[in-house]
Structure 1
């Protein structure tokens, strides 16, 4: 039986090699239908056990202390892809998932700024997407998020609309974007739809962009539009893909 300790040992050896790689899932503007960003998602293809579930990878990395090395690897992957997009006339932003544990490193924002310069991409085209919405309660994490905002990096908060974040906090947090989970988008109807629409309005009043995740059908896309979301992401738009060129750039009609 494969244990967490076994996985941690294997991950330590894999984190700098080809077993770890990124796939990219685009986001489209619901106003224009064009791709405007793509989220870099971590994948681990274990030589003996095949694809390891992404949540397991993050859990093992956090418990073992490998999250910093893994996080820097994923930032590098995202910057590499973004540099290629920009060179080929696709000025898309890249969203990279960041664990709150990475933000306990006081040099995180400085490292991000240095990597942006090294890869020749503007800091304003990077979106740091937190992997936990509770992270904003930590003063150390908040300090790093503010430092990222000061250099122009955008910050995205997941899990919006689930009620864990008091709406009055939104204007005081160093955020650029909130993301509505796919399960809420896909189940929205009746009172739930009205409640989510109100949550989107609150986010907009705070000056934040709203992304609908998990858009899998045209009905889900219609819900995202009805909610007033700014962007959509999901299998209907395009599944995660290692191909970073994304032939075709529009949302489904």
Structure 2
């Protein structure tokens, strides 16, 4: 059985090759029904161990420091993919998950700005998605970079919105443009829980934020997302993540 140290060494090597890749899951507008963006999900296919659980991979990357190389690799790869979509006439955005630890590298925002400029992408092309359960970091380091990214048109998304009252604090401290409702909340919303989640959506809209419903697996889940007033939806009903998607 591979140790954490072994996995860290293997991941450091994999980041430089094809074993690490992005799988894309589309997001649709609930107003138009059209694809408007896709979330890039990082995947690692180990040559001996097979597919590594994403949570395990990110944990190893954060503990070992490989998260910085992994994060830059994902940004670069996803922007290349986005350029290909744009060449096909698909004016979508790409959302990339980032660990707040990546912002401890004070050159991270500059790297993103350089890569966006090199490809001549305009505002709204890239969304960086933060998660609620991420490791704590010094906000004095993170927030200035997030504000810089917003200034150049990068959108900031917060996953896990509505999962706890504390999630609302993110609206006050982080320059967000989007929040995402966890699939388990959307799928189980009924009665008072539905009303509470609808209130959360209304609060987000009052702050000028877009709301995405995750984990949509059936038509009834999609109906709930519409009832809640969400702007976008993603999940297996729409499409499973895929590394080589050719959207219709």
Normalising by structure 1, we get a TM-score of 0.93
Describe the SS at the equivalent of 1:165: helix
CA distance in 2, matches of 1:168, 1:158: 13
Q: CA deviation at 1:121?
A: 2.2
- Report the equivalent of 2:185: 184
Deviates more, 1:155-164 or 1:134-143: 134-143
Is residue 2:198 matched to residue 1:197?
yes
- Give the unaligned 5+ runs of structure 2: none
CA distance in 2, matches of 1:166, 1:6: 35
Structure 1: give runs of 5+ residues left out of the alignment. Answer: 249-253
What TM-score do the two structures reach when normalised by structure 2?
A: 0.95
- 1: CA distance between counterparts of 2:67 and 2:218? 34
Count of residues in Structure 1 that have an aligned counterpart in Structure 2 = 247
Deviation >6 Å, runs of 4+: none
Moved more, 163-172 or 223-232: 163-172
Q: Structure 2: how far apart are the matches of 1:118 and 1:211?
A: 29
Q: CA RMSD in A?
A: 1.6
Bigger shift: residues 53-62 or 159-168: 159-168
Structure 1: distance between partners of 2:176 and 2:244:
29
Q: Take 1:216 and 1:153, find their aligned partners in 2: how far apart are those partners?
A: 29
Q: Which residue of 1 aligns with 2:56?
A: 56
Alpha-carbon distance in 2 for matches of 1:124, 1:11: 31
Segment drifting more, 1-10 vs 214-223: 1-10
- Cα distance in 1 for residues equivalent to 2:175 and 2:133: 13
What is the 5 A alignment of 1:104-183?
104-132=104-132, 138-165=139-166, 167=168, 170-183=171-184
Residue 99 of structure 1 corresponds to 99
Q: Give the Cα separation in 2 of the matches to 1:16 and 1:78.
A: 15
